[in-house]
Structure formats: C-alpha cells, structure tokens
A = this chain, B = another copy of it.
Amino acid sequence: MPETPEPGEEPVFWNQTALVGKRIPRLDGYERVSGAAVYPSDIILPNMIYGAVLRCPHPHAKVKKVDVRQAEKMPGVRAVITGQSHAAKKLKWKYSRYSGPLFDPLCRFEGEVVAAVAADTHFQAWDAVRAIDVAYEVLPFVADHNKALSENAPAIHDQGNLAGTDEYERGDVAAGFDAADEVVEQVYDTQCELHTPMELHGCVAGWDGDRLTIWESSQGVFAVQSRIAEVLDMPLSKTRVIGHYMGGGFGSKLKPGKYTVIAALLARQSARPVKLILTREETFLCTGNRPANTMRLKAGVKKDGTLTALEFDCTGPSGAYPAGGTALVDWQIRDLYLCDNVRCRSEDVFINAGPARPFRAPGHPQASWALEQMMDILADKIGMDPVALRLKNIPTVSQGRDRPYTTTGLKQCIEKGAAQFGWEKALDRAGKQNRKNTHIKRGVGMGSCVWFVGGGGPPSTVIIKLFQDGSVNLNMGASDIGTGTKTVMGLVAAEELGVRPEMIQIEHADTETTQYATPSGGSKTVPTEAPAVRNAAINLKRQVLEMASEDLGVPAADLAYQGQDIVSKNDSNTRIRVTEISRLKKRGVAVGIGFRGPNPENKSVNPFAAQFCELEVNTRTGEVRILRFLGAHDSGRVMDRLTYDNQVFGGIVMGIGFGMTECRHLDALQTGKLCNRNWHDYKLPTALDVPVDMQSLPIETVDPEANNTGAKGLGEPVTIPTAAAIANALHMAAGIRFTKSPVNPIEIIKHLTAGKEG
C-alpha cells in the first residue's frame, strides 16, 4: 500500500502555501446559498411517501394497547407499524444494555416511539397518527436529576436510577487544601440545552431489492450504516447511507435515531421510498441535549497564584437511557491548569426525559462555567489579575493523561489575546464607567480552555482521481456538517497538486461510493481527514512523476511537480504539462490513495483557547449588551482563515446561548412534560444578542508532530469558555456571581433586587 509521505516532500507545504491558510470562500458556497444543494429534507424520489411517528405524551407510561384499525383505513395510508407488527416485533434497539425493543411498551420519556404511519402525503400521515388509539398506564416520573436517587423516586430501569459514576484522583487533595492560602467552595448549576440544529432530524429510506438506501441528515454515514445494519441484521454492503448535505448536528446526528429504522421498515412495508423528517417539536423531545449539571467545586490557591488543590463533584442526567449525563464534565478540572492535587467524582443518573447526546464540546462548557468563575474568585482573593493567575498555571503536559502535549498554545492564547483585546484598557474603561452614577454598568471577563481531544487520528482513507484534463475528483467518506470540511480538504488537495480549487469536485459521505471515515465530531475532522487527503495527493503526484518520466526520459527522482507542469530539477526547460503525459492520457485517470498516519506515541494533541468579553448591563432592566468578544485559539495550522473565523464566531454565539438564553423547561413537579418545545419558547440567540465586534485571533502553533498538516481541532474549543467569560464580565459589571446558567434579564433583576422591597 502507499506509504506516508517522506519528510523530504514536506517543505513547500510547510513554508509557504498558495491556498491553505488564506481566506477562501466555501467550495460549495454557491450550492448552499442558492438552494441548489439537496439536503435530506429536500429529497424527492419517484413514488416517495411520507412517514410520521406517534410518540408517547407521558414522561413515564406503559403502553397497554395500540389500536390502528381506524388509522389503517384512512385515505392515503400505506403502512402502519407498531410494536406488535411483524416487521418490528423482533427488532431490538441495540443502543446499550438498557435498550429494549424498537417499540418499547414501557415508555420512559415523553416522545418515545409508540407507532408509525406512512401515507401519500405528510398530512395524511399525521391524520392517521392522530387516529391511532393508545391505552396508556401512566406511571409516576422523576424529571429532576437532583431527585433521581432519592428514596421515593420511581425507578426508571430495574437496575435503579444510577446510570454510572466516574472517579478521578491525583495527588493528595486534603494536603493540597492544607497548603493553600485561600480555599473557596461553590456550587454551580448549568441548565439543559436542547439540540435544535437548523435542519430537522430525519431521513429518506428506500429499498432496491435487498438493498437499503438511506439519505440521512447525519454527521457520519458509516456510523449510521453500522447501527442500521446491526438493528436490521443486514450486510453493511447492502446498507447504503448517503449524507451529502446536512443542516447542522452539533453531536445530535452522530448516530441514527429510531426514526431511521422506522423509515426503513415503513419503506419496506409500503414498497415505496419513505421520507420521515421529524417536526421541530419532536426534535426537542427526543434528539438529545446537553444535560443539566450540578457541580460543587472546591479550590485552593497560594498567594503566588499556585493552585494547590481542586475537588469537584458533579451530578447530571443521562435522560431515560445511558447517554453521558456527566460525560467529560471533569476534563477541564483535570487538565486545564497546573495542579498537583485533583479529585473528581461524578454521578450520572436517569430521569424521565429524552436522552442526552454529545453536544458541541460535551461536558466542557459546564465545567468551564464553574472553573473559570472560580479562577476569577481565587484571583480576587489573592489580589491577582485573572489573566496573570491563569498564566501562572499553564501546563505543558496533559496531567489527566500523564503525557506531554505536542504543543501548548494556551499561554499565547491568553497573552496575545489579552493584548489584542486590550485587557488593561478595558479594565480601566469598565472601572471608570462603573464609578459613574448610571444604571449602565460595564464589565470585562475572560475564560480559557483545553479541549480533551482534537488531534484526530486514524482511520481515514482518501482517494484522489486526476482526470486527463488536469481536473480532480476527491473521494472521502467524511461528512461536511457545515463546518467547511469539503472546502478544507479541497484546499489541501489543490495546494498539494497545484491545481485551482474550482477544478476539484468532491464526492463525500456515501458508504457505498466513498472511503471509510469516522463521524464528523469531536473537532477531529480536519486533523483526521486532511492528512489522508494530503497523503493521497502525494501518492498521486508520485505516480504522475513516474508517468512523466517516461515522456521526458528523465528519472522520476529528478522530476518535480510545479503547478500543473512536471519539470526536471536539473533543467527547467525539460518539462511537460500534466495534461500531456502519454500514459495519463492513455489511462484516462490517475488514482492516488492516502491514509491517515498514526498519532505521535506518548504525546497528546490538544487545542487550547482563551476568550475575552466586554459587556454592559442595564441595572434597571437586567438587559445585557455584549459589546465585543475576542477568541484567541490555538488549533495549530489555520486551514482556511474564512471558515476558521466563522467557526470562532459561531462558537461564541452558541456560548452566548448557553450562558444567556437557551434552557429546557420541564414541568418537573406536575406533568413531567416539556414546556418549551418550539423556537418561540426555547430561545436561541438571535442577531440582536450577538456582538457586532467579534474578533478571531489564530495562535498558529507549528505542530508537525500532530500530523502532516499541523492542524488541530477547532469546532468545539470555540464554545467552551464563552459563557464563563460572560459570567466573569457580568460579575464586574453587576457585582453578582451568577452560579446558575443561563443568565437572562429576569435572573439579573432577581439578583439585583434581592432583599429590596418594591
């Protein structure tokens, strides 16, 4: 098989680039903005019909009887499936050891599937769903993770409501606290955020003989393929999943939903392709969330800023099935700052609500909310600038993994970020403003972070075809979840081959026609896929050199690729255009294949960041105006500066949502039902909530050990410290430490008027 490129082939790429790192618009930008791009929700197939799912309206209930007789007779209805249907009876939803049948008669959350219909139109399908008569035995529920383990909480699973515990310890925490000059302990609460990407979850499923094709709005077609093949007991080769465009996932589309299997069953039963796209309301109920967390953080610090101990307890709900209710929450505590003595403990519990799912930087913003506020408190206690305190504790080793980082750009992120942000000046400005007798107060705050992965790694396979006219086809399995993957990969190939990016066509995210790739998530797509793309291009170049050598009569070793020419290293007049190479012409195309090389042994590859915020609070209305934000990010090499900056801005916007607007409201006392299941009541930040002045400051650490492109992950660190930076700035402006997120005007006014009488 083709090898990894030799170091000798690297320098051109490393020292100067024509495309990589520049501001290049999306290669598929036209398709996306013109509406020509076909997302799964846009797909129309001949004879396609529409699916709809009946979902349990109770947080906890037993399905006693499902009567579909009326529904089956309704106009346009072609298939009705329940747990008793032949098609579904034996199917298991193999998510974990807690998973039961596909249609589980014990519904453990509001939104669990009970039956499904396919009909000629969307409306006929929904009419039929409403005509299904279900007898439920409603059961007691628990919807608050802090009550899930109490004596009188109903058991959600036979094994009880404890989904799992996780413990971590290094050093001697007690001794650490003893050695501290200041010890602070505080409880923090973060809310549950719901997954609500622009494109709804869903798919189109169709059968062609014994072969199933699924067009799914997915972050990873191969992950969907393996799950569906497993549930339906089919060969992988007959289970095709395509995901060419998708409108956002943020972790909620890493795997298929029950709806994917249901669509396949409805399609088989009706012998028609079935489109099953969830409604917005359904996605709020069942496509996942960032779980709420309750965190107790105790920290000790010496007067000189040395952190002596960190102790962290965390509880969080997986929802009704194991889904990582506290997953990765402690990572920031373990790894962000130098500290010899750390103890973390987390308890993941079941509640009667939709399961959690990975949500952009799972666990990290929650812990950042606690840790970064705590750092400011500690700084205050010892009279140190918050920036200086963080700079005092920069690690070069992943303490949690006990191995060195290839690069740690954290120091530069904080230093250069603070410099470009004008930290000192901003502090002065805020001080001046707050000394004025006015209801507009000003604050600045910051937060920094590490992302627990982000170095990517094998496997990744990429194939690049060079057509005889010099144009290029790039074939990779990875999904572009809106982050610009196609653009970045196109640039890497174009850079390496010396072709214009518009000559490159990309085929991706199709289990049948493209190469295996892991799902796009974990900020690992660029560092995983780009090295394979580069290796494929290098492999292709080598073949082209060999072919050119036959035409030029010069050994391949003496030839070099120069733009679209092959040139003799010894005589620049001895050259041939790639399009003129005889064997290439004869062969039609040349095919290069490339694999992702292994990661460095005994080193950890991680991105770092620091974000800075300046804001104003209207102390009469509680309204907050974020004036500006700066994100200084060490994600290694910048691949496309335009998509890079957009990632930073998007992450900050999402962080503003986490810190200030988004929140799942469960009626935990009376019905257990979700109160805000639409974009009116579930508040995403809008353009008015976002500062006009957002800056991105790339800290381009040179990290050749990370991989052969030097890129590290970016998609998740960009949203980790945002909310904490806001909270810190709010503290300066309003004088209040907000321990519960989100911080909206109501909360601010509540705090500002606490103890006051009207």
Closest chain B residue, CB of each to CB of A514: B513
* Minimum distance in angstroms from A63 CB to a CB of chain B: 33
Once the chains bind, are B586 and A209 in contact (CB under 8 Å)? no
A505 at the interface (CB under 8 A from B): yes
- Cα(A46)–Cα(B44), bound, Å: 6
Task: Select one of B472, B505, B516, B586 contacting A465, CB under 8 A.
Answer: B516
- Cα(A408)–Cα(B238), bound, Å: 42
* Minimum distance in angstroms from A408 CB to a CB of chain B: 28
Q: Which B residues touch A503, using CB under 8 A?
A: 235, 237-238
Q: Which B residues touch A43, using CB under 8 A?
A: 46
Q: Which B residues touch A226, using CB under 8 A?
A: 468
- Cα(A211)–Cα(B46), bound, Å: 23
With A235-B467, A235-B471, A471-B238 in contact, is A513–B516 under 8 Å at CB?
no
Once the chains bind, are B463 and A463 in contact (CB under 8 Å)? yes
* Minimum distance in angstroms from A347 CB to a CB of chain B: 32
A588 at the interface (CB under 8 A from B): yes
A608 at the interface (CB under 8 A from B): no
* Minimum distance in angstroms from A306 CB to a CB of chain B: 41
A133 at the interface (CB under 8 A from B): no
Task: Select one of B30, B209, B468, B507 contacting A34, CB under 8 A.
Answer: B209
Q: Which B residues touch A504, using CB under 8 A?
A: 237
Which residues of A from 176 to 207 have beta carbons under 8 Å from B? 207
Which residues of A from 438 to 476 have beta carbons under 8 Å from B? 458-459, 461, 463, 465, 467-473, 475
Q: Which B residues touch A209, using CB under 8 A?
A: 28, 30-31, 34, 36
- The size class of the interface chain A forms with chain B is 35 or more
A428 at the interface (CB under 8 A from B): no
Once the chains bind, are A505 and B237 in contact (CB under 8 Å)? yes
With A222-B588, A459-B588 in contact, is A210–B30 under 8 Å at CB?
yes
Once the chains bind, are B37 and A587 in contact (CB under 8 Å)? no
Q: What per-residue 1/0 map shows which CB atoms of A506-538 lie under 8 Å from chain B? A: 010010111111100000000000000000000
Main secondary structure of the interface of A (DSSP, over half): mixed
Q: Name, among A1, A459, A463, A515, the residue most crowded by chain B CB atoms within 10 Å (CB to CB).
A: A1
Once the chains bind, are B505 and A238 in contact (CB under 8 Å)? yes
- Cα(A586)–Cα(B457), bound, Å: 11
* Minimum distance in angstroms from A273 CB to a CB of chain B: 11
Closest chain B residue, CB of each to CB of A542: B1
A552 at the interface (CB under 8 A from B): no
Closest chain B residue, CB of each to CB of A539: B1
Q: Which B residues touch A591, using CB under 8 A?
A: 461, 463, 515-516, 593
- Cα(A420)–Cα(B591), bound, Å: 48
Q: Which B residues touch A34, using CB under 8 A?
A: 209
A137 at the interface (CB under 8 A from B): no
Task: Select one of B30, B42, B459, B543 contacting A1, CB under 8 A.
Answer: B543
Closest chain B residue, CB of each to CB of A596: B587
- Cα(A2)–Cα(B463), bound, Å: 14
Q: Which B residues touch A167, using CB under 8 A?
A: none
Once the chains bind, are B507 and A512 in contact (CB under 8 Å)? yes
- Cα(A137)–Cα(B322), bound, Å: 81
Which residues of A from 578 to 598 have beta carbons under 8 Å from B? 586-589, 591, 593
Once the chains bind, are B30 and A586 in contact (CB under 8 Å)? no
Closest chain B residue, CB of each to CB of A34: B209
Once the chains bind, are A513 and B507 in contact (CB under 8 Å)? yes
With A36-B208, A209-B31, A461-B591 in contact, is A236–B467 under 8 Å at CB?
yes
Closest chain B residue, CB of each to CB of A222: B588
6 residue pairs of the A-B complex, CB under 8 angstroms, read A30-B209, A37-B208, A235-B471, A237-B471, A458-B586, A507-B513
> Which A residues have a C-beta under 8 Å from some C-beta of B?
1-2, 28, 30-31, 34, 36-38, 42-46, 207-211, 222, 226, 229, 235-238, 240, 458-459, 461, 463, 465, 467-473, 475, 502-505, 507, 510, 512-518, 543, 586-589, 591, 593
Instruction: Taking A458-B586, A516-B587 as given, write out 16 further A-B residue pairs in contact, using a Cβ cutoff of 8 Å, ordered by the A residue number.
Output: A1-B2, A30-B210, A36-B208, A38-B46, A43-B46, A44-B44, A44-B46, A210-B502, A235-B467, A235-B505, A236-B469, A237-B467, A237-B473, A459-B588, A473-B512, A505-B512
